Chain A
Amino acid sequence: MPVKGKFVGRSVPRLEDRPLLTGQGRFAGDISFPGQWHMRIVRSPVAHGRLKSIDAKAALTFPGVHAIWTHADIADIPPIGFRLTGLVELEAYRQTALAQRYVRYVGEPVAAVFATDPYIAEDAADLVEINIAPLPVILDAAGQPGPFDEHHDTETSVIEKKSGDIDAAFRVAETVVALDLAIGRHSGVPMETRGAIARYDEANDVLEMHGAAKVPHWNRDRLALMLGRHPDKVQLYEGHVGGGFGIRGEMYPEDVLVCAAALKFRKPIKWIEDRREHLIAANHSRQQRHRIRAAIDKHGRILGIDDEFFHDNGAYMRTHAATVPDLAAAMLPGPYRIPAYRARAHIRLTNKTPCGTYRSPGRYESTFVRERLIDAIAAKTGIDAIEIRRRNLIDKSAMPYSLGFSTLGTDIVYDSGDYAKLMDRLLEAADWQNMREALARRRAAGEKVGAGFAMFVEKSGLGPYDKVRVEVSPGGTVEVITGVASIGQGVETAMAQICAETLGVDYTRINVVHGQTDRIDKGMGAFASRVTVMCGEATRMASVKLRDAMLGAAAELMQTSPDLLDIVGDEIVRTGGPGTTMKLAALATARPDAMTAEGEFKSSHMVYPYGAHVVQLKLDTETGAVAIERYLVAFDIGKAVNPMLVEGQIIGGLAQGLGGALFEEFTYTDGGDPLAVTFADYLMPTSREVPAVETFLSEDAPSPLNTYGFKGAGEGGITPVGAAIASAIDDALQRPGAVTQLPVTPWRVKALLRTR
C-alpha cells in the first residue's frame, strides 16, 4: 500500500510558517481583551509546612489592586482531577488550585492577586504575607515514606506489571546481573511559558479560555464540571503554542483560577507565567531510581528481568496520575524477548514540584535502565554488546508480539517491526567495527573517546478515537476540523497533506482547524505521538467520504457518472475525455448538502515505531565536558507523511535528550529550596552542544492498524539518548557500568575520571 503519493510522503513546506516568520503569531501573551485584569500568583517560599495564615491587607491597599484570593475564596472548587491512569488510591493526593492547609513545595500557589497591570500585580504579590510553620521535608523518593497528611503517607501506590514465572527464571539462571540506576529530574521547558486568558461573554453566557493547548476538549469538560457549568457554556481556544513536550496544556491551578475569576469578577483575566515560575511550578518529570536484576543463561539470553523502582512524582498527583511510572514499567522490555518479567513501581511523593509527562515519558527512563542492563550483561558474560542484543531481539516472525500486560488502557501488542534489520542498517551506516577500532587507536594515544549504542521501541497512536470533519465552503475553501491540537509539530501541514492526497485539491488550499472546542464536539488532543496516526486516519476517512459525496453531486449536475470525474486543484474534471469542468465553489453553491463529511477512527491498540542510536563522543579531562563527535539515528516510522517534519521531530527530540543526559537537572537544597530557577542554572543545549545528526528513516514496518501504516514521529529522537550517551562514556573510560546516573554533568564526568 505505501507508495509515495502526490502529497503524502513528500517533504512539502509547512503551512504554519508564514505567520510565525513575520511576527503575526497569536501566542497566549499576544491575546488581550479591553479592561482585562492581570493575575499574579503568590507562591510558597517553603517546601513543606502548615499554612497558618495569609495577611493580604497591605497588598489590597496597593493602588491598582482589585482583589486577592486565598483558598477560602475557591473552597467550593474541587481539586484538579486525573486525565490518564487515574488510580482511585491516588485521589487523596490531588492538588487544589490554591493551597488549603499545607504547602508541599516551593512554588505552590497560595494566593492570587488581581490588578490592573502585571507590574502592579507583581508588586502587590510581594506584599502578601504568608505565615507557614515549617515541617520536615522529604526529598528522596527511594527513602522512607513520610506523612502527606493525617491519613495518608507519601507512598501513594505500588503498581506492578508481570508476565511469566520470574522466580523460576532466577532459579535456573546461569548468571545474575544487578544494577542500581537513577535518572535525574528534568522537564520539557518550552520556550513559551504558560499563559491563560479567561473571559466571560455575558451576552451568550459563555466562559472562554484562550491560551489552551494539547487537550482543549478534556480541559473544557473538566473546567465545566469544576465550575458547575454546562460544557457548551465553556469554550477553549488554542492559538499558537510555543512548544508542548507533554508538560504544556495539561490543566494546572492557574487555568482554574483565571476561569473562576473571570466568572466572579466579570472581567477578562490574563495570566502569563514568568520563567522562574515556570521552572518551579510547571510539571517536572523523569526522576526515578531503579534496582534491576536480569537472569541470564550461559549464552547471554535473558531469562527474566525483575525491576523495582521508585518514581518521584513531587508534591501532588497531577493530571497524569500514574501515567509515567506505568509507562516506565510497561515499556521497559523494549525490543527484547523477555520470557519472565516483573516491574514494581513505588509511586512516591516528595516536597518538590509535582510531575507529569515529558516527551517519551517512562521510556526515556526505562530505556536508559534496560540498555544499561544489556551493556552490563555483555560485560559480565564477555559477549559483545551488539551480539547480546542480537541474541535477544524479538524476531520479525514473532510479530504481532504481545507483552502480556497493558498500559494506558491498551494491551501492549507490538504491531510490526524488524528490529534486527534496523540494527544492522545503523551499524553499517556508522561503519561500527571501523569506528570502534579507530576509537581504540585514539584511546591508545591518550584520548578519552568512546562509542555507544542503544535500541528502543516507542509507542504512538493512542486511541480510543479521533474525529474529523472536512468541509468545502461556498467560496471553495477546504477546512479540516479536528479536536487535536498544534504544539508546533506541524499538524496543519500533515493533515492537509493527507486530506489533499485523498480529495485531490492542493494541500496549500486546505485550512486545518484545531484546538477550538466550539468548532467540533469532541477531540482527544495532541499527546502520545497520536495525532498523525489517529487524526491522520480520521482525516483520510472523512476525505474519502467527502470525495464520494462531491463527485456524486457533481455527476448529477454534469450529467455523467461519478467514476468519470476527478477532483484536481480547485475543480471537478472529466477523466473520460474532454468536456466542461466545474469549480469547487460552483459545486458548493449548487449542492451545499454534499460538501461536508465526517470521519471517526477508533483504535484500541497503540502502534509501535522503533529505532536505534549510535553516538561517538570525547571527554574533556580538564573540564569534564562531553563533546559529541558523531550522532546517528535510525528510526522506522511505518510511513512518513512528511519526511522533513519527521526528521525535524527526531533532531529536536535528540537535542532535548542530550539535555537530560548531560546538562538539565532540577536540583534542590537539603531544605527543599529549588536551585534551578533561571536559565543560568537550568542548562539547556545550545547550537554549540547539539551535533549534526545523521538520520536514517525507514518504512520497513508499516502499521497494520491504519490504512497508510502510520506510526508516530514525536518521541523516537529522544527515547534512547541517555542510554546511548551512558554507553559511550563507559566506552571512553573503558569501564563498563561506570555511568549509573543521569545527567552526566561535567562534574560527574570529572568524578568518574578521578575514580580510576
Chain B
Amino acid sequence: MSEKTAITLNINDRDYSIKTEPRRTLVDAIREDCGQTGTHIGCEHGICGACTVIVNGEPVRSCLMFAVQADGARIRTVEGLAQGDKLHPMQQAFMDHHGLQCGFCTPGFLMLAVSVLEREPNIGDDDLIDVLSSNLCRCTGYQNIIKAVRAAAKEMRKR
C-alpha cells in the first residue's frame, strides 16, 4: 500500500515529478504534492465537481482519478486560466455577473465551463444548463453562473 511510484504531472505547462502511492487521488496530488491548492475538494465521491480540472482537454473530477492515471497527462487547473494580471474571459464574466459568493465551488465551475466551451463554442442554452448541472454551488442559486458562462461564451467566440 505504501509503495510509491514515480510519476510526472504536467500542470499548467509545468512538470511536477512526484512519488505517490497508487491509491492517491489526483486532487490530493495536485494540492498536496504539487502545491496547487486552487483545485478544491468538496465531496470526494464525484458529485459536486469542485475538483474539476481539465486532463488532456477533457473535464475530469480529480477526486475520482488516481494520480498515477494522470502520469504524463496535460492537466489544466484554475491557476493556469489568467494570463498574468489579465483574467480569462470566464473569470472576468464571473466577476462581472456576480457568479460567485464564497468562491469554493468556483474553480470547478470555471474549469468545467472553459473545457466545454473550448470543445463546443456554440453550445445551445439548454445543453449548457445541462452541463452546468453537473456541478454543485450552494451560494449563488446558479442564475449568475449561467449568466456569466453565457457572457463568456460570447467573448470566447470572438477570440
Contact = CB atoms under 8 A, between A and B. Distances in A.
A539 B44 CA distance: 41
B57 interface: no
A18 B86 CA distance: 11
Residue of A21, A63, A489, A647 most packed against chain B (CB within 10 A): A21
Given A191-B50, A648-B101, A687-B142, A23 B38 contact: yes
A119 B21 contact: yes
A588 to B, nearest CB: 27
Contacts of B21: 119
Given A644-B98, A679-B47, A22 B141 contact: no
Residue of B102, B133, B137 most packed against chain A (CB within 10 A): B102
B153 interface: no
Contacts of A488: 101-104, 139
A275 B139 contact: no
Interface in B41-93: 41-45, 47-48, 50, 77-79, 81-82, 87, 91
A13 B95 contact: yes
A21 B45 contact: no
A678 B47 contact: yes
Nearest to A29: B41
Interface stretch (A65-73, A241-249, A330-338, A668-676): A241-249
Given A24-B38, A29-B31, A275-B44, A655 B102 contact: no
A489 B43 CA distance: 22
A272 B102 CA distance: 18
A652 B78 contact: no
Nearest to B90: A21
Contacts, number: 173
A234 interface: no
Interface residues of A, number: 57
Contacts of A192: 40, 42, 102, 104
A14 B129 CA distance: 25
A21 B106 contact: yes
A23 B77 contact: yes
B7 interface: no
Contacts of B101: 243, 488-490, 648, 652
B96 interface: yes
B103 A693 contact: no
Contacts of A193: 41-42
Given A191-B104, A648-B101, A687 B146 contact: yes
B151 interface: no
B36 interface: yes
A23 B130 contact: no
Nearest to A686: B133
B37 interface: yes
Interface string B101-129: 11111110010000000000000000001
Contact of A14 (B36, B39, B98, B106): B98
Contact of B102 (A119, A240, A654, A688): A240
Contact of B40 (A13, A29, A688): A29
Contact of B136 (A22, A654, A686, A717): A686
A700 interface: no
A684 B100 contact: no
Contacts of A647: 98
Nearest to B145: A687
B102 to A, nearest CB: 3
Contacts of B102: 20, 190-192, 240-244, 487-488
Interface of A: 13-14, 16-18, 20-25, 27, 29-30, 63, 119, 188-193, 240-245, 272, 274-275, 487-490, 644-645, 647-648, 651-656, 678-680, 684-688, 690, 692-693, 717
22 contacts: A14-B98, A22-B81, A23-B38, A25-B104, A29-B40, A119-B24, A191-B102, A191-B138, A192-B104, A240-B102, A242-B102, A243-B138, A652-B138, A652-B141, A655-B140, A655-B141, A655-B142, A679-B136, A686-B134, A686-B142, A690-B143, A717-B141
